[in-house]
Amino acid sequence: MSDRYLSFVNSAWGRRLAQAIGLPQPLPLQRHRSGQAGLANPVIVAGAGRLVAPVQRLFSATDTVSATPATVKAPSTLKVQGAVFDASGMTDLPQLDALYEFFHANARRLAQHARVVVLGTAPEHCAGLPQAIVQRALEGLVRSLAKELRRAITVQLIYVAPGAEDALDSSLRFFLSRRSAYVSGQVVRLEPPVDGAVAVNWDKPFAGRRALVTGASRGIGLAIAQVLARDGAHVVCVDVPQAEASLQQAAASVGGSALPLDITAVDAAAQLQAHVSQHGAFDVVVHNAGITRDKTIAKMSETAWRSVLAVNLEAPLHLSTALLDSHGLNPGGRIVCVSSISGIAGNLGQSNYATSKAGVIGLVQGLAARAAARQVTVNAVAPGFIETQMTAHIPLMIREAGRRMNSLSQGGQPIDVAETIAWLAHPASGAVNGQVVRVCGQSLLGA
Amino acid sequence: MSDRYLSFVNSAWGRRLAQAIGLPQPLPLQRHRSGQAGLANPVIVAGAGRLVAPVQRLFSATDTVSATPATVKAPSTLKVQGAVFDASGMTDLPQLDALYEFFHANARRLAQHARVVVLGTAPEHCAGLPQAIVQRALEGLVRSLAKELRRAITVQLIYVAPGAEDALDSSLRFFLSRRSAYVSGQVVRLEPPVDGAVAVNWDKPFAGRRALVTGASRGIGLAIAQVLARDGAHVVCVDVPQAEASLQQAAASVGGSALPLDITAVDAAAQLQAHVSQHGAFDVVVHNAGITRDKTIAKMSETAWRSVLAVNLEAPLHLSTALLDSHGLNPGGRIVCVSSISGIAGNLGQSNYATSKAGVIGLVQGLAARAAARQVTVNAVAPGFIETQMTAHIPLMIREAGRRMNSLSQGGQPIDVAETIAWLAHPASGAVNGQVVRVCGQSLLGA
């Protein structure tokens, strides 16, 4: 759970030693705290497209530095906390040069921990071939910048479909704030929102809303419950009956309620529906519960295969469809699943886990349209190396490799996963549906 | 160009030392040689779906070991050179258990260098949600097996759309042979072919066909020209006029012709069209020419940005569309582009290169439908670490990391890229369109 190298290398002696012998020098990430202003400030807003106006609406006039031709090509030395480049209007290849000009001139102007967002139009929504090529090319630029800017700077690409222009706020507030400290090199697609506009309380977005979190008694699940509760939700904490003591404690600590439940039980959906009948439908359902049973497939027992599939994949499928079909989720509801970089890239000794977590991606993508018809979204996070009790038990050298092999050269914290889930679960995130967003510091494992 | 570690670790002393101190022990890959039987033999054919019959048609009866329940659960000790599992018929989650049973029982039966292919139905072609989930889950299994089976075994997933069942041969012959030695962990989609069935000469598939290869005077381009010529093509070798001496030599060595041409010249398309008018249309066009000009974006010159985009992206776009629109490609034609893992995952110091190579992915995906209307396919390979003069100049430690950070623990050879291109360019590969296939030994960089 504690990354001693990160502390060491940020001490006076450690810094000097690391510089001398060329060791990685990760900066401790700055994370969001209650009461802080959320948005990076000031930010440069550049580019020319249909998204400049909605971006500028988000900031007060004093928060932005517009990128006049002068600041594009000959920047001032004033450091900025972030940059937003609207590339959505680019339709032909030579226009890509504007991105070079902007980042060439401004890369050094970005402060430590700066947030960079490039906005585009997804290739599948482009009219012409050159436009589709230009928009797809943005991925290569963004992923390269995320690798080379260093200094805890993050870079993302958000593709905004026509009709989603006014549904940008929750995503920009996430990616331009400290809430997304461990998310980098990601590509997210926004579509016209599945639900209507809502009046949003940006400090307590979940006020008056009910959230269900499975596996909530410890680790990442507890962090999710804490963040949703911090932001106003009443959280129903679920864990297996054997964990009831710590579950009760967790629920009490977030002012929520405890629901001991084996999510793989044949009557699990019925138990949830009974809970809904008594207490009301949910606004947010987070399928966080998951297990690992690692072995190479030749040595893996059938039980190890079966149990991982049952907990990680079958339960989220059955509970999601049961809740959707029985109106257990309110309109404006959000389902968030937890996948994994193993589900994206595969992993040695995790054929069961990777199969289940790849299946979760199939679940999210396959259920999105059906959920949208009920004004519900369904998305997934895919964590990379997160500092938990689980990863603390990994042998030292493998743990160190897992920790450092990402663009931020450190592991994430459970709260990084929780903040990302809170963004996907946000009442104003109706434009985000069927997406898989990695929380991995741009891990080398998978693009 | 030479991997001394690979030789050392496969010597008697080297093997003992590597075992003792736990170093990676890559096996030298076995590559295809002219005159060899192409297909792995014997292979186990297992699973139950619409693809078992077309798979078995490919093999003679003595080449296959059918997976009876007995061989699934209690295998003989006979080693097999390959395995094909047809999972295309799986429609519900518990059916995934059959994959566990098969690979649990047979993983140790696979010989060194064995080829494994799982066949499925792409999620976008699935009727129900559970089916889509199961089919998507296959990716996690395949990518994990590719990482854990070791011993130079490769594992791929081929999604076969309804209507593409009879167009499997060229892909199976590639993935079940030594031609695909450095390709692993890949997911390929086959659609109903863009062109009609052709009588195929499997020994000389390109006999009577004309191929254009850019950047053909050395390195990967020369290897592409050699493989296409070996397989019967007349190759028109293109390179910049400054390289004319080596270009003439390369063309002569493959019995082809030399066409000195700056592909970024304003009249490049016109020159090609003039060539076509004189000598006839092409059947295969390989956009191999590419340059790097690495720097972080803050230090990168505008020329470095522009020239990389012009050569790597703008030229392939202009020449492809010009040839397509002027009937410079025959029906049944093939366009193959060269992307890169940098275009997928981004790379430090390669924002120009990664932008161009991500754009190539956009080109391939965006042009596929338009090309299909002319019975032409357009695909890309994305090489990982390939042993060339270029990579020989990378500093030692970075080169070693690049070489070892993949499931085969070694770099690929130019011929590995060339064989993959020859499969995509194959007259019988009309079912492969809009695909990006990595030749990277399942590099850690990107899934």
Taking CB atoms and an 8 Å cutoff, what residues of chain A touch B352?
100
Which chain B residues are within 8 Å of A363, Cβ to Cβ?
129, 133
Q: Cβ separation of A140 and B306 shorter than 8 Å? A: no
Residue B70 has what pLDDT? Answer: 47
- Is B354 in Cβ contact with A132 (below 8 Å)? no
CB atoms within 10 A of CB A270: 12
Coil, strand, or helix at residue B369? helix
Q: What are phi and psi of B209, to 5 degrees?
A: -110, 150
pLDDT of residue A198: 83
* Topology alike, domains B31-190 and B210-439: yes
A297 and B349: CB-CB below 8 Å? no
Residues with Cβ within 8 Å of B16's Cβ and at least 6 positions away in sequence, in order, are none
Nearest CA in chain A to B321: A129
Residue B123: its chain A contacts at CB < 8 A? 362, 365-366
To the nearest whole Å, the CA of A365 is away from the closest chain B CA by 9
Q: Do A144 and B103 touch (CB under 8 A)?
A: no
Q: Is A96's CB within 8 Å of B349's CB?
A: no
User: Which residues of chain A make contact with B350, given a CB cutoff of 8 A?
Assistant: 144
Phi and psi torsions of A339, nearest 5°: -95, -145
Q: Which residues lie closer than 8 Å to A22 by C-beta, 6 or more apart?
A: none
pTM: 0.96
Q: Which residues of A are marked as active site?
A: 353
ipTM of the complex: 0.95
- pLDDT tens for the 447 residues of chain A, in order: 578 888 888 888 888 887 777 777 889 999 998 878 788 889 999 999 999 999 999 988 777 787 655 455 555 667 999 999 999 999 999 999 999 999 999 999 999 999 999 999 999 999 999 999 999 999 999 999 999 999 999 999 999 999 999 999 999 999 999 999 999 999 999 999 999 888 899 999 999 999 999 999 999 999 999 999 999 999 999 999 999 999 999 999 999 999 999 999 999 999 999 999 999 999 999 999 999 999 999 999 999 999 999 999 999 999 999 999 999 999 999 999 999 999 999 999 999 999 999 999 999 999 999 999 999 999 999 999 999 988 888 888 788 888 889 999 999 999 999 999 999 999 999 999 999 999 999 998 865
Spell out which residues of chain B touch residue A306, defining contact as CB-CB under 8 Å. Answer: 97
Q: Where are the beta strands (DSSP E) in B196-287?
A: 210-214, 234-239, 257-260, 282-287
Q: Please, what's the largest Cα pairwise distance for chain A?
A: 66
For residue B348, the chain A residue with the least C-alpha distance is A148
Amino acid at residue number B199:
A
Residue B17 has what pLDDT? 79
> Is the model more confident about A66 or about B111?
B111
Alpha-carbon distance A409 to A431, whole Å?
31
Q: How far is A135 from chain B (nearest CA, A)?
A: 8
Domain residue spans of chain A: 1-26, 31-190, 210-439
A296: nearest CA partner in chain B: B148
Contact: A140, B363; criterion CB under 8 Å: no
CATH superfamily label, A210-439: NAD(P)-binding Rossmann-like Domain (3.40.50.720)
Interstrand relation of A329-338 and A80-86 (parallel, antiparallel or unpaired): unpaired
Contact assignment for B362 to A298 by CB distance below 8 Å: no
| Residue A33, token pair as written in the block | 């705290």
Size of interface A-B (CB pairs under 8 A): 253
> What are B261-284's pLDDT values in tens digits?
999 999 999 999 999 999 999 999
Q: With respect to CATH, is domain B31-190 assigned 1.10.3720.10?
A: no
How many angstroms away from the CA of B234 is the closest CA of chain A?
31
* B353 is a catalytic site residue: yes
**Taking CB atoms and an 8 Å cutoff, what residues of chain B touch A396?**
none
Query: Which tokens go with B300?
Result: 């990168």
- Pick from A139, A357, A361: which is nearest to B358 by CB? A139
Least confident residue range of A273-287, A320-334, B243-257, B391-405: B391-405
Whether B60 and B177 have beta carbons less than 8 Å apart is answered as: no
> Any residues with CB less than 8 A from the CB of B276 and at least 6 apart, and which?
B282, B323, B326, B328
CB contact under 8 A, B362 and A306: no
Chain-chain contact of B129 with A363 (C-beta, under 8 angstroms) = yes
Of B358, B363, B366, the CB nearest to A140: B358
Q: Choose among B104, B359, B446: nearest Cβ to A133.
A: B359
Is B133 close to A363, i.e. CB distance below 8 A? yes
Substitution target in B126, B296, B408 with the highest count of A β-carbons within 10 Å is B296
Nearest to A135 among B302, B306, B362 (CB): B362
CB contact under 8 A, A141 and B100: no
pLDDT recorded at residue A253: 98
Of B323, B447, B276, which is closest to residue A347 (Cα–Cα)? Answer: B447
B5, B159, B182, B353: the catalytic one is B353
Tell me whether residues B351 and A144 touch, CB distance under 8 A: yes
CA distance A314 to chain B (A): 7
Residue of B nearest to A354 (CA): B140
Residue contact B347–A313, C-beta within 8 A: no
Nearest CA in chain A to B137: A359
What confidence score (pLDDT) does residue B196 get?
87
Kindly determine whether residue B355 and residue A148, on different chains, have CB atoms separated by under 8 Å. no
Distance from CA of A152 to the nearest CA of B (A): 15
Cross-chain CB nearest to A300 (options B104, B343, B352): B104
Question: What distance in Å separates residue A133's CA from the closest CA in chain B?
Answer: 4
* Chain A residue closest in CA terms to B105: A298
> CA-nearest residue of chain A to B442?
A345
CA distance B153 to chain A (A): 14
Do residues B117 and B183 make contact, with C-beta atoms less than 8 angstroms apart?
no
Higher-pLDDT residue of B63, B440: B440
CA distance to partner chain A, nearest, from residue B441 (Å):
13
**Nearest-by-Cβ selection for A100 from B146, B302, B342:** B302
> Closest partner residue to A305 among B100, B321, B370, by Cβ?
B100
Q: Give the closest-approach CA distance of B235 to chain A in angstroms.
A: 28
SS (H, E, C) chain B: CCCHHHHHHCCHHHHHHHHHHCCCCCCCCCCCCCCCCCCCCCEEEEECCCCHHHHHHHCCHHHEEECCHHHHHCCCCCCEEEEEEECCCCCCHHHHHHHHHHHHHHHHHEEEEEEEEEEECCHHHCCCHHHHHHHHHHHHHHHHHHHHCCCCCEEEEEEECCCCHHHCHHHHHHHCCHHHCCCCCCEEEECCCCCCCCCCCCCCCCCCCEEEEECCCCHHHHHHHHHHHHCCCEEEEEECHHHHHHHHHHHHHCCCEEEECCCCCCCHHHHHHHHHHHHCCEEEEEECCCCCCCECCCCCCHHHHHHHHHHHHHHHHHHHHHHHHCCCEEEEEEEEEECCHHHHHCCCCEHHHHHHHHHHHHHHHHHHHHHHCCCCEEEEEEECCECCHHHHCCCHHHHHHHHHCECCCCCECHHHHHHHHHHHCCCCCCCCCCCEEEECCCECECC
Cβ(A6)–Cβ(A411) below 8 Å:
no
- Put simply, the answer to whether B137 touches A345 (Cβ < 8 Å) is no
Which residue from B348, B349, B447 is facing A344, i.e. has the nearest CB?
B447
Q: CB neighbours of A426 closer than 8 A, spacing ≥ 6?
A: A170, A174, A205, A334
Determine, for residues B145 and A362 on separate chains, whether the beta-carbon distance falls below 8 Å: no
- Token readout for B293 is 């000009």
Identify the pLDDT of residue A73. Answer: 54
Nearest residue of A to residue B106 by CA position? A298
Pick from B93, B352, B354: which is nearest to A314 by CB?
A: B93
Contact B148 A296 (CB under 8 A): yes
